[in-house]
Chains A and B, each alone.
Chain A
Amino acid sequence: GQNIDQPTEMTATEGAIVQINCTYQTSGFNGLFWYQQHAGEAPTFLSYNVLDGLEEKGRFSSFLSRSKGYSYLLLKELQMKDSASYLCAVKDSNYQLIWGAGTKLIIKP
């Protein structure tokens, strides 16, 4: 079967750095995505990795290792507004998105 694992919940302090990990086992790979979802809202796109390495976009970076089936999302200089769920998703061989359950990130002042 296809599976994406990420921690259920993480807590971090405002101004700090947090890394959210994601491991995946899918039938084929056509890219890995990170989305942010605030409570009661729809997911919004954060990042896309299809090749190994680090993609940086402002305070957010995403890393991919295809050989390890592993990715992480790195959030720097945390702000209270970063409190949200972060969803990891992979496109499989059929280009269908397979979603993780999401990591709820709690930011404390």
Chain B
Amino acid sequence: SAVISQKPSRDICQRGTSLTIQCQVDSQVTMMFWYRQQPGQSLTLIATANQGSEATYESGFVIDKFPISRPNLTFSTLTVSNMSPEDSSIYLCSVEPGTTEAFFGQGTRLTVV
């Protein structure tokens, strides 16, 4: 199993600014996943973060908008840059330490005004 501490839990930000979300895992994991979940919708994978290499971004997501850091095997950050109201969403980090279940951070509820 894995326990993930994610912060902040929520924030209200001005458009044009940036927010960095942090996730700390209680064990070493190879990959960390960053998701976005808009109200009433499924989880959408933004990128996969590996330690020591650049993150792999999914279609529709770019590094300039969502830069990711992965300095070690227990920590990662996702930055939402130059925010607009369309970026208002819940952002979740996740790990899969075994071959089956995924574990999630508590989520960051972002509102851009």
Contacts and interface: CB of A to CB of B under 8 A. Distances in A.
Chain B interface helix/strand/loop/mixed: loop
A99 B106 contact: no
B107 A42 contact: yes
Interface in B65-113: 92, 100-107, 109
Contacts, number: 43
Chain A interface helix/strand/loop/mixed: strand
B100 A97 contact: no
Interface of B: 40-45, 92, 100-107, 109
Interface of A: 4, 31, 33, 35, 40-45, 48, 87, 89, 96-97, 99-102, 104
7 interchain residue pairs of minimum CB distance: A42-B104, A45-B101, A99-B42, A99-B43, A101-B42, A48-B100, A42-B107
10 contacts: A40-B109, A41-B107, A42-B105, A42-B106, A42-B107, A43-B92, A45-B101, A87-B42, A101-B41, A102-B40
